Amino acid sequence: MDDICSSVSSESVAIELQAQLVAMFKTGGFELSKWASNSSALLSRIPDEDKLESCLSWDDSSFKVLGLSWHPVTDTFAYEVNVKSTECTKRNVLKLTASIFDVLGLLAPVTLYANLLIKHLWQQNIGWDEKPPEHIQNVWRVFQQELTLLSSLSFRRHIDVFSDSAVTLVGFGDASEKA
């Protein structure tokens, strides 16, 4: 079983959900553990041995959730990007691009840019470990430098949508030949 990440509208709903999850999984013979929450009321109901270890001392801890860092004190998600500068080869571009885990799809503009670079390398018949022309190498260097800026991004984990509010979804399509 993998981890679960959920968001609810109130502390009382969270407490009820936790109790339901424990009961449901118990019927299947599973014991849930590694609980973490930004709710002290919820955490006080959970035995210490069932809490995530770092949850016992909140301070400024962060936890890995869905490939992101969750900061419970501020209740925000953030990306942690560690980029080791590598020379521009098709192998290195593909390796770095594949290492960007983005389950929520929020980094799609970034990964699209990298995928377009990979496409360009294929179209130029560049070998796996061959250096491409200088202008492509420059693009790669800038991309690697700017990728570290993702570590400065953070966003709220829970976004309230009230039942009486009107929600509008607008979609756009582009028939670009590039992507």
Who's near 89: CB < 8 A, 6+ residues apart?
126, 128, 129, 130, 131, 132
Asked whether residue 119 falls in the same domain as residue 61, the answer is no
pTM: 0.71
pLDDT of residue 167: 76
Who's near 5: CB < 8 A, 6+ residues apart?
65, 66
Asked whether residue 102 falls in the same domain as residue 131, the answer is yes
Residue 72 falls within a domain, yes or no?
yes
Contact 176, 109 (CB under 8 A): no
pLDDT of residue 54: 61
| Number of domains the chain is built from | 2
End-of-domain residue from the set 41, 58, 78:
78
Asked whether residue 96 falls in the same domain as residue 52, the answer is no
Which range of residues forms the domain containing residue 32? 11-78
Enumerate residue ranges in the chain where pLDDT < 70. 1-2, 54-60, 161-163
Residue 29 falls within a domain, yes or no?
yes
- 59: tokens are 């301070």
End-of-domain residue from the set 78, 101, 129:
78
CA dist., res. 129 & res. 66, Å (int): 32
